[in-house]
A and B are shown apart, each in its own frame.
Chain A
Amino acid sequence: MTLRQAQGPARTLSTEYLQRFHDMVDDYPNKRSMLMMTLRLIEEEFGCIDDAGMEIAADLCGVSTAHVQGMVTFYTHFKRPAHGKHRFMVCATLMCALDGNTSQALKQIESKLGITPGQSTADGLFSCEKVECLADCDKPPVVQKDFEHFCSMKGKTLDDYIDSLLKRENKSVADYQGKAGIEMDLRVSVLPSHYNFAGETEVGARHFENKDPYFQPGEAPRTTTVPPPLKTPLTAPVVDGMNLNGADHV
């Protein structure tokens, strides 16, 4: 099974999000520089950035999938499929860690959800990780849950918050007691998912049974992720004789 199959049918950005992408076009001198914000759009629309999301970003910004993979693994704040639906990020840098603030927050999360940093619950609802300074050092410990930011997040405040999340998910602390968490695997797949190695011969030479290597045999052709024509053409400064428009000069 390829990753693509595992993730279900191919996806595209919705028209609304594509429009938001096109609304940004004027603000940037070339498409490549829109990549950070495009990844944010994808993260927002799909809830995380998975392989399909990375391909969409690559298509939209005119860069290779490998480049996008490089971005997504370099920047730690992007949400990935391995992260829980509710992703706890606990600041573990010195200012928060002083006087055991970080460990207390981590301990409380562990006692409620049974996960230690780097793990998610088996049902994929919660995950926990240590992150570096979240820039609110006067009120430790600082914790972010996805896109929510909390200061002095320990004791009753943290417990109550976790309880409220559990309630929202129709779960209870008992559901996670004694259950081991699973380690999050944040690596990207080595190969872009559209390579088909089914026809690989023994000596390793590649040929594709399917004429179009883009598709798995039997897989429905993926809906287009190529953006509709731009409202306004991209304008980029021509620098040193090189038009930077969409150039993937990694």
Chain B
Amino acid sequence: MSESPLNSPNGAMVPFTPVILKHIHEAGSHTLDHYVARGGYETARTNVGKTEPGSLVKLVEESGLRGRGGAGFPTGKKWSFLAKGTGKPAYLTVNGDESEPGTFKDRHIVEKDPHQLLEGVILTCWAIQSHHAFIYLRGEFILGYERLEAAVREAKARGFIGKKIFDTDFDLKVVVMRGAGAYICGEETGMLSSIEGGRGYPKIKPPFPAVSGVFQCPTIVNNVETIACVSHIVKNGAAWHKQWGTEKSPGFKIFCLSGAVKKPGVYEVPLGITMKEFIEVYGGGMIEGRTLKAVIPGGLSAPLLTPEMVEKCTLDYESLAGLGSMLGSGGITVLHDQVDLMSAIYNTMRFYHHESCGQCTPCREGTGWLEKLAHKFHEGHAHEGDVDLLGDVARNMRGRTICVLADAAAMPMQSYLQLFRGEFEKRVHEPAYTERKRTARDEITPAAKRDTVTQGGPDVLSVGMGMDRI
């Protein structure tokens, strides 16, 4: 990865080289020896048992680091909310579930630089005075689990984890756990339920995890990337972190680029660069012969951006919020002009219906309705009123559930409706689509030719009838 000169908040050009992903291409980057050879664990050694924990929390707060898991909550502030004097142990739980479609950054940290994460865990645990950390990896990360487990063993053998780490009086247990294929275990309280040995059911907040989390003890939940940032911030200081990014979104972030670009992949860039630059320079531009139709900027849950919005967009929390979308987990997917948006939204809704945990009626039923309705548009036999019905169902799902999965499902639907309503309307009574022999339901193919419309279309199905689930 090369250096790129980029604008900092004060307008000066500050060169940026990747920080977290700097070493992932090197052979053996996942081993302890490699990590120690590049100065690894020195920050932990000089701080654990020596620096006052409260000052570390303050440092992270000053640095402006914001959660990289999706919500973008200021990390230092979250730590400062941790309930103290409860007589219960405090826990750190690191969220490595990485289930938001379009996101694949934590995978690279865990597989290729696990010690970086562990050093972050050690420093965080010292800062919040926790003696027990869980790292929850999604079950599908097989190499990641092996490498992280091995890394924990190596670090234990050197006395960086375990009893009296770094020859101080501080004990620290780090436990790597595996999920088993449930998106909802990425939601923080869902993950805690899973760690407790139950189904990954999210819990009502408040109480927030910082007050009563895993095992009803005060708990800090942070994303893998957030924790990986910690050791760099502690080492280099808050001002160092703030030299990149914008005033409200300081620092750098890993973005995952997928879809119709020449060079998809993970790229670590300073926050605040333009989306256009990101797609053109890092992603190498659109694939040959295709133009941009829309961009999903922050994982599947993020509302779409149209090409006009992409022109205006910069990669920071505020810019995307201003455009009615969100930075989310940093999973950017580029959709080209031939993508059939009705298939895309159907696929999206199918995902949420499948992953809803089923505790709340608006979510369990709402995602099902959205899927079925989207299926009608996908197949081309929707009713006139179905467009409005989609909007109605989506609106009624938001803000009425235990966790925000319902919102995460409703938001993309609402944005498709708002930005591409015409495409929905085109599919009302469009028998050509059912006539088409579909080889696979979820094929997101170019739209069929319009001139093959056959008369006397198929029976119009109503919601909830005759629709088989896939």
Contact = CB atoms under 8 A, between A and B. Distances in A.
Contacts of A136: 104, 107
A149 B331 CA distance: 20
Contact of A98 (B197, B199, B217, B444): B444
**What is the size category of the interface that chain A forms with chain B?**
35 or more
Given A97-B444, A98-B444, A130-B470, A71 B101 contact: no
Given A28-B175, A94-B344, A78 B264 contact: no
A94 B107 contact: no
Contact of B258 (A40, A67, A76, A137): A137
B238 interface: no
Given A103-B443, A137-B102, A37 B177 contact: yes
A36 B179 contact: yes
A239 B347 contact: no
Contacts of A92: 347, 442
B259 A95 contact: yes
Contacts of A48: none
B351 interface: yes
Interface string B134-161: 0000111111000000000000000000
Interface residues of B, number: 65
Contact of B440 (A76, A98, A102): A102
A221 interface: no
B198 to A, nearest CB: 7
B175 A107 contact: no
B183 A132 contact: yes
A133 B182 contact: no
A234 to B, nearest CB: 13
Nearest to B265: A138
B333 A240 contact: no
A94 B139 contact: no
Interface in B181-232: 181-183, 194-200, 215-217
A61 B217 CA distance: 21
A77 interface: yes
Contacts of B339: 98
A75 B182 contact: yes
A29 interface: yes
A135 to B, nearest CB: 5
A33 B195 contact: yes
Interface in A218-250: 236-237, 239-240, 244, 250
B395 interface: no
Given A29-B215, A93-B347, A102 B180 contact: no
Interface in A31-52: 32-37, 39-40
* Shortest Cβ-Cβ A-B pairs, 6 listed: A77-B181, A103-B440, A75-B180, A138-B264, A35-B197, A133-B101
21 contacts: A27-B173, A30-B197, A30-B215, A34-B197, A36-B179, A75-B199, A76-B181, A93-B300, A94-B300, A97-B347, A107-B439, A132-B101, A133-B300, A137-B102, A137-B256, A138-B257, A144-B140, A147-B142, A236-B215, A239-B217, A244-B215
Interface of A: 26-30, 32-37, 39-40, 61, 63, 67, 70-71, 74-78, 92-95, 97-100, 102-103, 106-107, 117, 130-140, 144, 147-149, 236-237, 239-240, 244, 250
Interface of B: 88-89, 98-104, 106-107, 132, 138-143, 173, 175, 177-183, 194-200, 215-217, 256-260, 264-266, 300, 331, 333, 335, 339, 343-344, 347-348, 351, 354-355, 357, 439-440, 442-445, 470
